[in-house]
Amino acid sequence: MREEGVLPGVLYGEGIKDALSLEVSENDFAQIFKEAGTSSLISLEIDGKKYEVLIYDSKKDSLTEKISHIDFFKPSTKKEITAPVILEFLGEAPAVKDFAGNLIKEIQKVIVKGLAHKLPKSIKVGLEKLKNFEDRIFISDLEAPEGVKILQEENEIVALVVPPKEEKEEAPKAEEAKEGAEAKEGEEKKEN
């Protein structure tokens, strides 16, 4: 199946008694996954019936890094669920631009809780707050949509800027060692 561009998958969740085995076009899935991610509802049609589902999990082949299996989950319309949401970093941190600092993204995604239809594809993180090396962006600085709660500790650091690493002056030391070896060689030749 995979050689023909078809991925195996499974659908389970609310109102589905037995998990349904599926075959999904690899190209179609790649495009939809790029647009929806793991936290946006997508419409999945099976035998003429539509399901509002999340791409709950996808497994990759360890050698090829290609997706090898997909889990689709049909969530409840009335119960909150938890899901990972990626962070989308926007702009440039002034401390990077003005002081040649290095941006450190401590967290790439957060776990949120809410009704499935309210979950965002991503949460935006504006980097303009990072004006100097002491500034930090914390979980508490993130804005989730109404009805969605970020479940991580509010004081957890999301991003910061650190000073650039100083380059060690190893080249002059190596040059000095070379000159010292040449001088010693010259002295040995004089003695012989």
pLDDT given at position 165: 83
SS3 content of the chain, % helix, strand, coil (to 5): 25, 40, 30
The answer to whether residues 127 and 103 touch, using CB atoms and an 8 Å cutoff, is yes
Q: pLDDT tens for residues 29-46?
A: 989 988 888 889 999 999
Residues with Cβ < 8 Å from 122, sequence gap 6 or more?
37, 85, 86, 87, 88
Q: pLDDT tens for residues 45-99?
A: 998 999 999 998 888 888 888 888 999 999 999 999 999 999 999 999 999 999 9
The CATH H-level superfamily of 82-162 is Ribosomal protein L25, C-terminal domain (2.170.120.20)
Query: Is the full-model pTM beyond 0.85?
Result: no
Determine the average pLDDT of the residues in 157-173.
76
Domain ranges of the chain: 2-75, 82-162
Residues with Cβ < 8 Å from 44, sequence gap 6 or more?
11, 50, 51, 52, 53, 72
Is CATH 2.40.240.10 what the domain over 2-75 is classified as, yes or no?
yes
Does 1 have pLDDT greater than 80? no
Asked, colleague to colleague, whether 2-75 and 82-162 share their fold, the answer is no
